[in-house]
Amino acid sequence: MAAAHSDALVVFGVTGDLAHKMIFPALYAMVKRGTLKVPVIGVALPKWSLERLHKRITDSIERSGGVESRSALKHLLSKFTYVGGDYEDPATFATLKKELGRATRPAHYLAIPPALFEVVIKGLGAAKLAQHARVIVEKPFGRDRASARELNRVARAVFPENSIFRIDHFLGKESIMNILYFRFANSFLEPIWNRNYVESVQITMAEDFGVKDRGSFYETAGCLRDVVQNHLFQVVALLAMEPPSDRDFGAVHVEKAKVFQAMRPVKRADIVRGQYAGYRKEPGVARNSDVETFCALRLTIDSWRWAGVPWYLRSGKYLAETATEIVVELKPPPQGLFGDSQLAAARGGYFRFRLSPNAAIALAARVKTPGEEFVGEQRELYLLEERPEDEPPYERLLRDAMAGDGALFTREDAVEAAWAVVDPVLKHHPKVRPYKRGTWGPKEAQTILAPHGGWYNPAL
């Protein structure tokens, strides 16, 4: 039986940056596609007029790509109402309840700082606005395992698990979903997708810019919390999971959670933390900050399929390129018939998944070059190459959450298991290593790959 669609969308934090940068453009796109058919109620602390909110929405659309359809923008604005008030004041929720009118199945989007999650969730429960409703929680979901467990407890006291949608916009990307499809839609992959044929796996998420105006936020998070524990771990789960029993999102969540539970806790020797030159001069950053803007770590998955296969993850600001890429390196043949393929400079075959800025899936293999000698070179066979996706991740995730489809969201047990992996190094970790802007991070990041060669650097 299909889940009932939400009959209203409530956006807490509607005056904030997240709404301006991501949510308004997503809602505008939904209006153009004809998929946003419910009223939208914005809630925030400032005592704004509806006219001021409309100007904020219009500015967002103009900055995100321009107003392609005046009628669509007008239609979007007509759906909005606004409630201004303190989240700790029951009167704010009473006003919200009045604005909802006949709507009985609202979706509450918490586009607010994590410190306010508990306050708003409890406020919704006390005002009886949680029955038959859904809650969409923006990351980060907790700061460690203990805080994530406490937040889960608070949320579950008000909403059932299948009504809690923990959003990670990374999972809404077309290229991420294609990993799941590629793995289980092709029979040729399964026989070699294991410890017998895979040498190592590398995942890189690089950005060629700094923290911009998010210095204060980064001081409370750092790269490990902001990117690795959520975004990159989700990619690991899709690559490492066992085949689900069916396409139902519950079956997928079960297998992803098993991957996190099989991960060995990270030790100090498994992690390298870096900080780009000049970070401590960014607005909102402490002058003696030890917060990492780069993180590289080695993961071990203690499962039958992946025992002994190292997983290398890295992410950072002000690196050489902006790109996200996966390289699944295959083991070399058991016997070296051709001397050139055994050279130290020669890499083995691999599968390469480019997730951004464009999507690509490629298979690298050695082929013989023309001539009498048995000498070859490595070439890539492209299985897929796409332009950037048309549908923004937030549009897809908002639509799915309002429809009750939890496939692209994370579940309680998976969140806690993922935090358990990094908990040992959240406080007890090596100091940050400096690195120059425009490089691939501190030189120490190479050490965790020994003896598996170096990093595959994305080449755009």
Residues 6+ apart with CB under 8 A from 14: 23, 42, 43, 44, 53, 82, 111
Q: For residue 6, give both structure tokens.
A: 């939400």
Kindly report the backbone phi and psi dihedral angles of residue 129, in degrees, each rounded to the nearest multiple of 5, phi listed first: -105, 10
**Angstrom distances, CA of residue 161 to CA of 10, 31, 299, 409:** 19, 29, 29, 12
Residues 6+ apart with CB under 8 A from 143: 114, 225, 426
Q: For residue 234, give both structure tokens.
A: 């989700």
What does the H/E/C string look like for 249-281? Answer: HHHHHHHHHHHHHHECCCCHHHEEEEEECCHHH
Residue 132 a catalytic site member: no
Q: Which residues of 5-15 are buried (b: 16+ CB within 10 A; e: fewer)?
A: ebbbbbbbbbb
Element at 203 (helix H, strand E):
strand 198-206
Q: Which of 108, 169, 231, 253 is catalytic?
A: 231
Q: What amino acid positions are annotated as catalytic residues?
A: 231
